[in-house]
Amino acid sequence: MALAYSFGPRKSAWSSGFWACFLGCGLVLAAVIPAINLWMPPNSAAALPDYLIPLLGKYLCYALLAVSLDLIWGYAGILSLGHGAFFALGGYCMGMYLMRQIGTRGVYGNPLLPDFMVFLNWQKLPWFWWGFDHFAWAAAMVILVPGLLALVFGWLAFRSRVTGVYLSIITQAMTYALMLAFFRNDMGFGGNNGMTDYKDILGWDVHQPATRLGLYLASVAALGLGYLLCRYITSSKLGRVLLALRDAESRVRFLGYSVTNAKLFVFTVSAVLAGIAGALYVPQVGIINPSEFSPGNSIEIAIWVSVGGRGTLSGAIVGALLVNAAKTWLTGAAPETWLFVLGALFVATTLVFPRGIVGLLRQVRWTRLRAPTPVAAGEQA
């Protein structure tokens, strides 16, 4: 039975090798890194200073954002160049909660109104700020606001069969429009300055190392769960429908699948994940402002995904971590070169290695496995 191994769907997405790899990475992120941070003497070579924890946490939020984009771009062919908008909306929901937690500790000491509203001479809290003093409400909004926007936007776009570059352009327009709106002071979200000077989250001081470690661990958990969710979706039959519609959309319709519904589903899931990433990002960086909506930010997300390898999920994580680590390092060491490096990376991933880092590694491993003789593979099976 030389061919027995090839009969059936592709290799299970949930093999023991996968779990070993997943749990290994999770263990390093969730246990080893905090342990080094807590127990290494601060001046030893292996020490992990406190400031690195929120930095790593920020990268993990970016990684979750990249995974959410890979789900729709790598698998369903929906290149959203406005995904930063969902991230920012999740961030704003969290920012509103954090602003309400400041209470009388603000510069103006107003128990109800955030400082920027007092400054604008507002007398009462706008209706859409209602409930944001409760964490549960804010958490629900983190999911609902990006999710509903994606549902409405996606329904209009996918129902009218807007695809490819046209869809990318309208997603850019969407995030740009939101940026302009959030820049306005009378929107009630702090305008140009956004929201900052947070004090507490769930009663914990956001500046304390323990709180920062907690937020970091929450980011690890969110990334892990978000990744598993995306992996479940992409390895289900729906994942194959997505791959099929990415390559031949009208053919999928003639098979009887609703392309609109399938796209709408993953687009909404993706937006919710992006919103959660944004909500975890804001308390770790300590600020949210309208620049998070800028079209350039959203394009950067696409670069992370293509550097890591689109359509791989794990590549999105690798790409987000590597590109952002490089950005942190280079903007410190040689700030004027960063945009050139970013541009060069994008050109290189497009022309030289279109499968990205993970795609390239898989190709190497695949050719090595197949190289001896195909019969050898059959005998093992």
Partner 1 sequence: MNTVSTTDALLYLNGVTVSFDGFRALNELSLIVEKGELRTIIGPNGAGKTTMMDVVTGKTRPDSGEVFFQGTADLTRLDEAKIANLGIGRKFQRPTVFENLTVFENLELSLADSRTTWGTLFGRLTPDRRDRIGATLARIGLTEQSGQPAGALSHGQKQWLEIGMLLIHDRTLLLLDEPVAGMTDRETEETAELILDLAKDRTIIVVEHDMAFVRSLGARVTVLHEGSVLAEGSIDHVQDDPRVIEVYLGR
103-125 in b/e form (b: 16+ CB < 10 A) is: eeebeeebeebbbbbbeeeeeeb
Please tell me whether residue 256 binds partner 1 under the rule CB under 8 A: yes
Residue 375 binds partner 1 (CB under 8 A): no
Q: What are phi and psi of 200, to 5 degrees?
A: -125, 155
Cβ nearer to partner 1, comparing 13 with 55: 13
Q: Where are the extended beta strands (E) located within the chain?
A: 195-196, 200-201, 204-205, 287-288
Give the count of alpha carbons within 13 A of 72, CB side only.
32
* Residue 251 binds partner 1 (CB under 8 A): yes
Please tell me the distance from the alpha carbon of residue 84 to that of residue 165, in angstroms, as a whole number. 17
Q: Does the protein bind partner 1 through residue 161 (CB under 8 A)?
A: no
What's phi and psi for 41, nearest 5 deg? Answer: -60, 140
> CA torsion angle for 42, 48, 53, 58 (degrees, to 10)?
140
Of 48, 195, 201, 259, which lies in the binding site for partner 1, with binding defined by CB under 8 A?
A: 259
CB of 12 to partner 1, least distance (A): 12
Residue of the chain from 122, 135, 155, 265 that contacts partner 1 (CB under 8 A): 265
Least gap, CB of 367 to partner 1 (angstroms) = 15
For partner 1, the closer of residues 9 and 203 by Cβ is: 9
Report how far residue 202's alpha carbon sits from residue 137's, in angstroms, rounded to the nearest whole number: 13
Instruction: Quote the least distance from Cβ 67 to partner 1, whole Å.
Output: 18
Q: How far is the CB of 71 from partner 1 (least distance, A)?
A: 13
Q: Tell me the per-residue interface mask from 206 to 245 with partner 1, x by CB under 8 A, - otherwise.
A: ---------------------------x--xxx-xx-xx-
Considering the complex, what minimum distance in angstroms separates the CB of residue 241 from partner 1? 5
Q: Which residue, 111 or 256, is less far from partner 1 as judged by CB?
A: 256
For residues 105 and 159, which CB has a smaller minimum distance to partner 1 in the complex? 159
Count Cβ atoms within 10 A of the Cβ of residue 219 and give its class: 0-12 exposed, 13-18 middle, 19 or more buried: buried
How many residues interact with partner 1 (rule CB under 8 A)? Answer: 31
363 binds partner 1 (CB under 8 A): no
The whole-angstrom separation of Cα 160 and Cα 152 is 12
Question: Which residues are near partner 1 by CB under 8 A?
Answer: 3, 5-10, 233, 236-238, 240-241, 243-244, 246-248, 250-259, 261-262, 265
